[in-house]
Amino acid sequence: MTTSLLKVENLQVEFKTRRGQALVLNGVDFELKAGETLCVVGESGCGKSMTALALLGLIPMPPGRVKDGRILFQGEDLLKAAPERMRAVRGNRISMIFQEPMTSLNPVFTVGDQIGESLRLHRGLDKLAARERAIDMLRQVGIPAPERRIDEYPHQLSGGMRQRVMIAIALACEPDILIADEPTTALDVTVQAQIFDLLRALQRDKGTAIVLITHDMGAVAEMADRVIVMYAGRVIEQGTTDEVIADPQHPYTRGLIACLPELGSSQHGERVALQEIAGVVPSIWELGSGCAFRERCPHAHARCAKVPPLVSAHGGPHAAACWLLEESATQEVLAA
């Protein structure tokens, strides 16, 4: 996993509202390598899905716009690409599994027609060849009796099967990058495990890089090679999965991990109360000039309210944006 497929630099997205310009993504930076799984984690409203939409050129303009930054896909800046070029990339080289398959799939077309559409558009297949390929894709994603299911409509399928159809559509053209936005939302735990197993198998067989968007740190521990943690439109921590989970640097990341129920944490049948992060993600208009997490942080002090913290890397690529790290590093230098 050494080849860089995607590099996002200083991505800023803003929306025009009645109250003025709202900066919903503020300086997002990350890199995706060939064949790896990168998890983007954070609570609802942190900017995860907006980042995915920006990668695919799906920010509604107006009222939104990309204010600044670069999205380099194999060296090509997608933010400068013409609409025709983005249509050629989207669904072909970079695909996305959206959060809710029932609203993403067209209810008046069969699943075969919806899988075949991208094959006819991007691969130039005729109707018969696209149908055969669609049947093969349904088989690959584990849908039984694909020859029959291909002529069914979304409402005739279970939630797990609809999600598998979405995966089949996304993978039909064998993309370089698959963006999965909460792919197991509203699915039971058994189907969730099946979907994750399917993504791992397809990645192993096809070499596809995956961007997995989630709020579930359990899914991060299971799926990710590397992790970026987002809060209020910023990347506040990133590193390998082992680094972030074993040694979280940012108080918000520590809070997310502390919310996980641990197997064996209950003894003699006693219930163990789950921890929580007090408060909610602030609105765009409440961020102020300091650290966005300061109102919920148990370690916040005066400096946190005045100046946004810089991203600090200690001992390698594991980096976080917190004034505690700066102060800790300073104390270490003085002690030495």
Q: Which residue has better confidence, 85 or 186?
A: 85
Between 215 and 234, the more confident residue is 234
Give the model's pLDDT for residue 185. Answer: 73
pLDDT exceeds cutoff 80 at 328:
no
Which helix (H) or strand (E) is 206 found in, with range? helix 189-206
Sign of the Cα pseudo-torsion (198, 204, 207, 209, in order): positive
Which domains, from first to last, does the chain contain? 4-93+176-260 (3.40.50.300), 101-174 (no CATH)
Q: Tell me: the pLDDT tens digits for 82-136?
A: 999 999 999 899 999 887 777 789 999 999 999 999 899 998 999 999 999 999 9
pLDDT at 184: 79
- pLDDT for 335 beyond 60: no
Residues 54-60 have a mean pLDDT of: 92
- Please state the three-class secondary structure of 7-67 as a single string: EEEEEEEEEEECCEEEEEEEEEEEEEECCCEEEEECCCCCCHHHHHHHHCCCCCCCCEEEE
pLDDT at 235: 93
SS3 214: strand
36 vs 79: CA distance, rounded Å? 23
pLDDT of amino acid 271: 57
Lowest mean per-residue pLDDT among 63-72, 95-104, 251-260, 301-310: 95-104
Q: Is the predicted pLDDT of residue 72 greater than 60, yes or no?
A: yes
What are the tokens at 101? 């398959």
Percentage, residues of the chain above pLDDT 90? 49
pLDDT at 133: 93
What are the tens digits of pLDDT across the range 259-292? 877 644 555 555 556 678 888 888 888 887 889 9
Residues 137-156: what's their mean pLDDT?
92
**Considering only 176-190, 217-231, 273-287, which range has the smallest mean pLDDT?**
273-287
Q: Residue 313: pLDDT above 60?
A: no
| Tokens of residue 238, six digits | 């990133």
pLDDT at 71: 96
Mean pLDDT, range 10-24, rounded to an integer = 92
pLDDT band at residue 153, thresholds of 50, 70 and 90? very high
pLDDT of residue 109: 94
| Structure-model confidence comparison of residues 168 and 261, the more confident one | 168
- Of 220, 190, 199, nearest to 95 by C-alpha is 199
Phi first, then psi, for residue 204 (nearest 5°) are: -65, -40
The distance of Cα 249 from the centroid of its chain, to the nearest Å, equals: 20
Say which residues have a Cβ less than 8 Å from residue 70's Cβ, sequence separation at least 6.
Answer: 7, 8, 9, 10, 11, 77, 79
How many Å apart are CA 8 and CA 211, to the nearest integer? 13
Q: What residues have CB less than 8 Å from 121, skipping those under 6 apart?
A: 91
In the structure, what pLDDT confidence band is assigned to residue 316 with cuts at 50, 70 and 90?
Answer: low
Greatest mean pLDDT among 76-80, 136-140, 216-220 lies in: 76-80
Tell me what pLDDT residue 61 has.
85
* Residue 94, token pair as written in the block: 């970079």
